Amino acid sequence: MPIREIQTKPYTDQKSGTAGLRKKVAVFQQPHYLENFLQSIFDTETTLRGKTLIIGGDGRYYNRDAIYTAIAMAAANGVAKVVVGQGGLLSTPAASHLIRLRGAGGGFLFTASHNPAGPDGDFGIKFNVAGGGQAPEGLTGRIYEHSKTIQRYRIVEGASLDLDRRGMQKLEDTEIEVVDCVDDYAALMQTLFDFDRLRDWFKKGHSLRFDAMHAVTGPYAQRILVEQLGAPQSTVMNGCPLEDFGGGHPDPNLIYAKHLVDLVNSPASPDLAAASDGDGDRNMILGRGIFISPGDSLAMLAAHLHRLPGYRDGLKGLARSMPTCRAVDQVAKALAVEFHETPTGWKFFANLLDAGRLTLCGEESFGTSSSHAREKDGLWAVLAWLNVLAATGLSVREIAQQHWQRFGRHYFARHDYENLSAATAATVMQALADATAHLPGKSYDDYTVALADDFSYRDPVDGSIAVNQGLRVVFGDSARIVLRQSGTGTEGATLRLYLERYESRETALAWETAEALAPLSNIADQIVRIGELTGRKAPSVVT
């Protein structure tokens, strides 16, 4: 099978967003589109030659085709060994772990995360570097610049591979190892959590419902929750990965997992209900009659992490992305541990994790993880909550109530305005940016603006600076309004408006979130003017 050099012409739209390159499937199916992007990575990150490369995906439509192409190009570009998940499946956190475990030079993750799948859906590629984290912005910028001038790519033509058979295969001088996608990840989880205590928790009649959303976490949940922990077979919902995710939207939030919200508010509610997304890096946590927001989940796990076997040495540090509510800040202060506020994107946590300065971190977009990996990890968060429930003997609601009584409560919501034109989104962002200089000192009802700016971040490890990371209007410790443009969509522009209100009064700890945030929402209408400038009467989605 010859290695061929194929002439090509560049595409100008291969700029990575928050977590890789995401486009419609039809875009990736254009002649040479996928090959151009992959070759740009091989040409830019030349250290992959002679190294091991991890490859896997979330099982969405076009996953197998893309993986065959990637392996054929890896062999043509001097990669010594490719480790690929059986059937092409590998969750994002499992891939991150496998990169670290195998000492790999990096990994290709074929996923569009929580975006819909199928022939008319989305597809994506993330390049993770040695160490398991997402490629930093400097590297993705160089890859993009190369993609605009690329003239050829290298590939082994006529490659014949079997992704469904575990074991070793050979392609030219490159070894191809097909591995069970769950084994190494499950072994890691056993080092972090008290599996004996979790088995006892299930034996005592406690219950969990986990929705894998017909995405990649199905096999992981089946192996760990059912086979290893002894949970009933009915614990795992929608556990079979499908190329179109069963026609659903694999985003575990109050909108797309409303059936879980209905379940926990019914007489049949389990003790814990949870869901993960397309590639397994997001999570949603609910208890009987209660939803735990991602920011609260991060804070509550931080307060209880010392109870879990893998974390009994204590917390080295805590971090959250800037738009995420400030609940974990209170925990960091109380525990006197190092704390960081970063831009959105897990890559910003990776440097801190590699430097040994973080144990736990999270984002408002339903992402939580720890120092065990360099990606957010949905099933890890579910197991962490299970272990906290088993260790404390408390319910989800009791944990939340005790936490709010000790630290206060941060009411939080995200309003997404989807499919805006790029010009409209830019107009809204620019209008608020222009207003920030004049906002400090102004009062709106009971709130006075203490700070208004465009968030920037200096990495404390490598000194790199990230600018234009979101517009903030801060009313001291009492409240915040944040506006930023999403980097994960594939159609139009999405603006995200974040509302946060803090209350420590005992009489104010059990309000409905929408009611608590209504005054701040009215203030946001005056300051951000998003309805006025977009013509939208309401957000597309509220989570």
User: CB burial class (10 A; 0-12, 13-18, 19+) of residue 182?
Assistant: buried
Count the neighbouring beta carbons within 10 Å of the beta carbon of residue 458. 11
Q: Which two tokens stand for residue 406?
A: 């000790």
User: CB burial class (10 A; 0-12, 13-18, 19+) of residue 441?
Assistant: exposed
User: CB burial class (10 A; 0-12, 13-18, 19+) of residue 515?
Assistant: exposed
Pairwise CA distance, residues 29 & 39, whole Å: 16
Q: Which two tokens stand for residue 250?
A: 């694999």
Q: Which two tokens stand for residue 490?
A: 């594939």
Kindly tell me the sign of the dihedral angle through the C-alpha atoms of 112, 260, 494, 323: negative
The residue from 16, 40, 113, 369 that is catalytic is: 113
- Identify whether the C-beta of residue 541 lies closer than 8 Å to the C-beta of residue 418: yes
Pairwise CA distance, residues 242 & 113, whole Å: 14
Q: Which two tokens stand for residue 533?
A: 């400038």
Looking at the DSSP assignment, which residues form a beta bridge with residue 55? 84, 108
What contacts 107, CB < 8 A, 6 or more positions away?
A: 53, 54, 55, 56, 95, 96, 98, 99, 127, 128, 132
- Identify whether the C-beta of residue 389 lies closer than 8 Å to the C-beta of residue 273: no
- The continuous run of DSSP H or E covering 220 comes out as helix 217-221
Q: Is 113 assigned a catalytic role? A: yes
Residues acting as catalytic residues: 113
